Amino acid sequence: MALGNTYDPEIGPYEGTHSKHAEGEFSDVQKLHEPIVEEAEEKDLARALTQRHIQMIALAGAIGTGLFLSLGGALQTGGPVGALLGYALIGAVVCAVQFALGEVSALFPVTGSFVRHAELLFDPALGFAVGWNVVYGAFLGVPSEISASLVLIQYWTDKYAALWITIFIIVTFLVAIVFVGIYGEVEWFFAMLKICLIVGIIIMGLVIDLGGVKGQDRIGFRYWRNPGPFVAYLGIKGAWGKFLGFWAVMNNAVYSFSGVESLSVAAAETQNPRQNIPKACKRVFARVTIFYILSVLVVSMLVPSNDDALNEDSGNASSSPFVLAATRAGIKVVPSIINAVVLTSAWSASNQSLLTGTRILYGLALKKQAPQIFLRTTKYGIPWVCVVFQTAIATLAYMSLSSGALTVFYWFLDLTSAGVLVSWAVISFNHIRMHQALKKQGISRTELPWSHWWTIYTSWAALIACIVFLLTGGFSVFIRGNWDTATFISSYLDIPLVICAYLFWKFFKGTSILSLDEVPILAALEEIRNNPEPKIPKATGWRRLNVLWG
């Protein structure tokens, strides 16, 4: 796709622009800038992810195990209205983050996504700090999801635990090492399973609620009236306790959405990334609304917030409020179906963590912020050293076979529990910096491959929200008599770790913050003009109604 004087709100401007920037008038600073997309990315990686893959990878990232298993805890913490408002507000933040990511990724479609964007737009030290933070979290995410998969398997059988872990590690490795197109197909299949399950359980929930099950009365919104729309958090009376319950739901909801930011980490392996990545980002609002908000709404109608069964934390389908409602309605097959699909969700999350970790590590190696051995790729364009290294770390899943070792493992995992908020904050900050550079350099936002007039405001709102969530993530430990060391660590330790990593690289390498004139906007626009993407035809007929995957 090249620059142009015809601006398409779906994809951006096209060939023929008469702006002075399209003629290649670069400042002396930007004339010296290296290519935005590195030669190694173009040469060594394979562009095998299609629009269909990217759309469904984004969808798979938006629907995690938290949607199926954690809604009961949210209902118990905040009540039906508190849970609904909490997920709605976090959904709004996620939408703002995704639009910001889409706009910046369309201009800078590089491997490593927002990590590399931080270097291009602000300071290489920020890219180093956030990159290694993401790598650390993603590397531990794989054994964590494999351990979760083992818990789900134990819903049916508790035999051969070590064998199941071994199978999950091997299959995850094979999906990652063979060909990135295989990964895309696997995620497409898993996303379709999730769609079928969530549509099915929402319909099932509505049938149960409206009295469609023989022998059961219509429930309606009775649980919104009794025990009530909100829950007093930790027994704190009055409006303050209800507000804290809502706030606790919002903090927990953040982690249910984790993973949505990973859809552009493999931009250099995506066909027509300047068009396909924004298209995927744009559909986040529909996914959030249809899947999360409707799910929370239906759950709030099916189960009362004071139901004792919500206290159970089995980690498998038996803890799902959908299962509670179905079991009480006499629908016995639902628990196994939900458990099976949640099992695929856990494996999908494991695959996504491996993709994120390996591509961010590859991107760090490109900028000499990681050992150069991680740049080695197979003939099919897979960074195989990164994959092997992360698979080796995945063997930490065997620690789940020992209760003591599992405790230590989760302490390690707690260190980056807040990492998702750090990533969202950086994505928003990158977008703000890009628009500041546009203004400073006198470039209209309509020259961007993809832009919206309102995103600069939503990015500021998302950045402020992420900072507030970070600072209040562990607020419960400061309530008298409620101190918990693990909660404090998971909520706050990641903040000084990222700051220390930033300062270390800044002083070790002597990096400096880029001035707004140095941000390579013109160089990126020149690359777009010199390497145009073929325009993707617009959907026609019934396909125009599809807001979910493409």
Q: How far is CA 520 from the centre of its chain?
A: 27
Q: Which residues face 12 on adjacent strands?
A: 8
CB 300 within 8 A of CB 72: no
Does residue 546 lie within any of the structural domains? no
Instruction: Tell me the three state secondary structure of residue 513.
Output: coil
Does residue 196 lie within any of the structural domains? yes
CATH number of residue 332's parent domain: 1.20.1740.10
Which string of DSSP letters, residue by residue, matches 326-342?
HHHTT-TTHHHHHHHHH
Q: What is the mean pLDDT of residues 310-314?
A: 70
Does residue 1 lie within any of the structural domains? no
pTM: 0.88
Does residue 534 lie within any of the structural domains? yes
Residues 200-248: tens digit of each pLDDT: 888 998 999 998 888 788 889 999 999 999 999 988 888 999 999 999 9
Give the pair of three-digit tokens for residue 180.
């990135």
CA 304 vs CA 93, 238, 256, 535: distances in Å:
28, 20, 21, 51
Does residue 263 lie within any of the structural domains? yes
Residues 160-192: tens digit of each pLDDT: 889 999 999 999 999 888 878 888 888 888 888
Three-state secondary structure string covering 162-226: HHHHHHHHHHHHHHHHHCHHHHHHHHHHHHHHHHHHHHHHHHHHHHHHCCCCCCCCCCCCHHHHC
Q: Work out the angle between the directed axes of helices 321-328 and 180-209 (0-180°, nearest 10).
A: 40
Residue with tokens 């004071």: 306
Q: Between 278 and 266, whose confidence is greater?
A: 278
Provide the domain limits for residue 499: 8-539
Give the pair of three-digit tokens for residue 409.
């493992």
Cα–Cα distance, 236 to 100 (Å, whole number): 38
Number of domains in the chain: 1
Among residues 141, 54, 111, the alpha carbon closest in space to that of 360 is found at: 111
Cα–Cα distance, 280 to 54 (Å, whole number): 7
**Cis check: omega of the bond before 9, within 30 degrees of 0:** no
Does residue 379 lie within any of the structural domains? yes
Does residue 97 lie within any of the structural domains? yes
Q: Which residues face 111 on adjacent strands?
A: 266
Cα–Cα distance, 504 to 521 (Å, whole number): 28
Cα–Cα distance, 466 to 151 (Å, whole number): 31
Does residue 181 lie within any of the structural domains? yes
* 90-99 core/surface letters (b: 16 or more CB in 10 A; e: else): bbbbbbbbbb
CA 351 vs CA 25, 100, 355: distances in Å:
44, 24, 6
Residues 483-540: tens digit of each pLDDT: 988 888 888 989 999 999 999 999 999 999 999 999 999 999 988 888 887 777 776 6
Q: Is the pLDDT of residue 272 over 90?
A: no
CB 498 within 8 A of CB 422: yes
Residues 55-71: tens digit of each pLDDT: 777 777 667 666 777 78
Q: Is the pLDDT of residue 310 over 70?
A: yes
* 178-189 core/surface letters (b: 16 or more CB in 10 A; e: else): ebbbbbbbbbbe
Give the least confident one: 24-38, 103-117, 131-145, 400-414.
24-38
- pLDDT confidence tier of residue 7, bands split at 50, 70 and 90: very low
In this predicted structure, what is the pLDDT of residue 532? 82
